[in-house]
């Protein structure tokens, strides 16, 4: 019979198993997020060791690993990296596409500390990751909790002024944080700036770009010829 107790118990058991499976998958994802993303270089998967660099997507890289990536020419990258890696980090073409994070220290046991006491100090005030959201200021490279950055207007370490568009979320997983970085990158592109806020080179369409002094001289000469 379709409505007997056995059918009800079986249905409940199926739902319990499904829920347990989903919870296990979610727990595994969280474990990867907290244990892997905050302790391993996104490029090679090697343990993170300062100095570290980050890109416009909030990824963390070891300095040596990401600089080696930049040294390999595009046509030879397939010999050194998998296609998945190439597709994931193809947006990193120049040193200017990266920001160095300058207030992180290795604590041991695969964890990194955040120093808010000033550059060069050996004390750490926070553990990177540790069930918190973190971010950094693109102009100075100092890391802090995302809530502290969002609620402030000056860097806690060096005092550099910043706005919301200067904040880069580290290892974003929530859609709002990912979208925030997309909007920031779009704004930078409209301003002709790279991730580090260094100017993006303008394309000259095959013609050499004239300096402002040469342009002024050319304009003056043309004006005299007309007269």
Residuewise pLDDT in 10s, the chain (227 residues): 555 656 555 555 555 555 555 555 544 554 555 568 899 999 999 999 999 999 999 999 999 999 999 999 999 999 999 999 999 999 999 999 999 999 999 997 778 999 998 655 566 789 998 789 999 999 999 999 999 999 999 999 999 999 999 999 999 999 999 999 999 999 999 999 999 999 998 765 444 444 444 444 444 444 445 44
Q: Render 138-193 in DSSP notation, one character per residue.
A: TTT--EEEHHHHHT-SB-TTT--B--GGGEEESS--SHHHHHHHHHHHHHHHHTTB
| 66 and 164, same domain (yes or no) | yes
CA–CA distance, 180 with 100 (Å, rounded to integer): 20
Domain limits for position 170: 52-190
Query: Is pTM beyond 0.85 here?
Result: no
Q: Decide if 218 is inside a domain.
A: no
Percent of the chain that is helix, strand, coil (3-state, to 5): 45, 15, 40
Does residue 157 sit in the same domain as residue 134? Answer: yes
Q: How far apart are CA 1 and CA 138, in angstroms?
A: 66
Cβ contact 196:138 at 8 Å = yes
Q: pLDDT per residue over 196-226, tens digit each?
A: 999 998 765 444 444 444 444 444 444 445 4
The verdict on 63 and 157 lying in the same domain is: yes
Q: Is 154 a member of any domain?
A: yes
| Residue 84 shares a structural domain with residue 162 | yes
Total domain count for the chain? 2
**Residue 151 and residue 65 in one domain:** yes
**118 shares its domain with 25:** no
Q: Is residue 215 situated within a structural domain?
A: no
């Amino acid at each position: 019979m379709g409505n007997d107790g056995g059918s009800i118990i079986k249905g409940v058991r199926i739902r319990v198993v499904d829920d347990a499976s989903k919870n296990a998958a979610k727990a595994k994802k969280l474990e990867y997020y907290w244990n892997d993303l905050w302790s391993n270089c996104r490029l090679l998967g090697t343990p993170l060791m300062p100095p570290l660099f980050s890109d416009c997507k909030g990824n963390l890289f070891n300095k040596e690993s990401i600089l080696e990536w930049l040294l390999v020419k595009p046509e030879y990258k397939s010999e050194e990296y998998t296609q998945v890696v190439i597709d994931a980090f193809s947006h990193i073409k120049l040193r200017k596409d990266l920001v160095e994070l300058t207030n992180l220290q290795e604590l041991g046991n695969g964890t990194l500390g955040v120093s808010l006491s000033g550059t060069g100090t050996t004390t750490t005030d926070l553990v990177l990751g540790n069930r918190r959201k973190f971010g950094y200021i693109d102009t100075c490279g100092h890391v802090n909790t995302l809530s502290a950055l969002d609620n402030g207007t000056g860097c806690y370490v060096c005092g550099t002024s910043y706005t919301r568009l200067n904040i880069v979320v580290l290892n974003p997983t929530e859609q709002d944080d990912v979208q925030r970085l997309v909007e920031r990158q779009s704004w930078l592109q409209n301003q002709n700036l790279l991730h580090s806020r260094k100017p993006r080179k303008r394309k000259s369409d095959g013609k050499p770009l004239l300096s402002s002094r040469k342009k002024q001289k050319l304009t003056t000469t043309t004006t005299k010829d007309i007269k």
